[in-house]
């Protein structure tokens, strides 16, 4: 376009059987956010915002090469997480847990991918519905001072950001390196850091993290 921007028109035709869609997700699918073009244009926008941020200097605590490396690592971590829970190549098995509730388990083998532990990988998921707005819930999970209430790795207390990189116009989409904030940390936790990537848009929010051993 004349102003230097690109205009994108995305049309998506999808046919699905509602019988196989969980009742929690049917309203989302009907709005088009599940399989429709709005989802893909949103993903495209996030990707270009990420590329724009990676070409600019944002965080004074890390050089530009380190910032790009962290951004790419967070992107790969998120991709591996989504690929790991995808049921296209692996089947989920429903099991009964306490109080008659269901959870899903998946077992798969990793032989060649060095980005994951070699051997058998067990994945568990649980879907719940909470009477709270998604935005409030996402803010709770991304609040480093509240992390000890849901993350067993952070039970020693509040966390602090060592590095925090915003990935786009949405300030809640970011890459962070977290460490324990306080002096009462157990000795074997002194070298533990948490690498985290978050993103949010109209289709939903995602928080993915992994432990980093700073002694290595």
pLDDT over 50 (residue 186): no
> Where do the H-state alpha helices sit in the chain?
26-30, 37-54, 64-85, 134-142
Instruction: Read off the pLDDT of each residue in 133-148 and give the average, rounded to a whole number.
Output: 89
The pLDDT of residue 62: 60
pLDDT over 50 (residue 188): no
Instruction: Read off the pLDDT of each residue in 54-74 and give the average, rounded to a whole number.
Output: 70
Three-state SS at 6: coil
The pLDDT of residue 101: 66
The pLDDT of residue 23: 80
The pLDDT of residue 140: 92
Q: What are the beta bridge partners of residue 197?
A: 175, 208
Contact of 138 with 205, CB cutoff 8 Å: yes
142/108 Cα distance (integer angstroms): 30
Q: What is the pTM of this model?
A: 0.75
CB proximity list for 59: less than 8 A, separation 6 or greater: 67, 163, 164, 165
pLDDT digits (tens, 9 = 90+) for 163-183: 888 877 777 888 999 887 655
Confidence of residue 187 (pLDDT cuts 50, 70, 90): very low
Three-state SS at 132: coil
Nearest CA among 184, 173, 180, 206 for reference residue 194: 180
pLDDT over 50 (residue 185): no
Share of the chain above pLDDT 90, in %: 9
pLDDT digits (tens, 9 = 90+) for 95-137: 666 665 677 787 778 788 777 778 888 888 887 888 999 889 9
Confidence of residue 89 (pLDDT cuts 50, 70, 90): low
């Amino acid at each position: 376009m004349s102003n230097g921007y690109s205009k994108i028109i995305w049309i998506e035709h999808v046919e699905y059987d509602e019988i196989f869609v969980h009742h929690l997700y049917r309203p989302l699918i009907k709005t088009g956010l599940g399989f429709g073009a709005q989802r893909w244009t949103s993903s495209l926008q996030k990707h270009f915002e990420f590329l724009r941020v990676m070409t600019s200097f944002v965080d004074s605590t890390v050089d530009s090469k380190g910032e790009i490396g962290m951004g790419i690592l967070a992107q790969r971590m998120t991709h591996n997480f989504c690929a790991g829970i995808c049921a296209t190549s692996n089947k989920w098995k429903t099991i009964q847990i306490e109080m008659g509730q269901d959870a899903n388990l998946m077992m798969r083998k990793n032989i060649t991918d060095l980005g994951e532990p070699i051997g058998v990988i067990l994945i568990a998921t649980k879907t719940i519905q909470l009477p709270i707005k998604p935005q409030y819930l996402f803010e709770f999970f991304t609040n480093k001072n509240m992390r000890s209430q849901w993350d067993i790795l952070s039970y020693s207390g509040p966390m602090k950001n060592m590095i925090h990189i915003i990935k786009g116009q949405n300030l809640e989409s970011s890459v962070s390196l977290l460490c324990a904030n306080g002096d009462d940390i157990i000795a074997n936790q002194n070298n533990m850091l948490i690498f985290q990537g978050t993103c949010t848009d109209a289709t939903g929010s995602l928080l993915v993290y992994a432990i980093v051993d700073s002694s290595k």
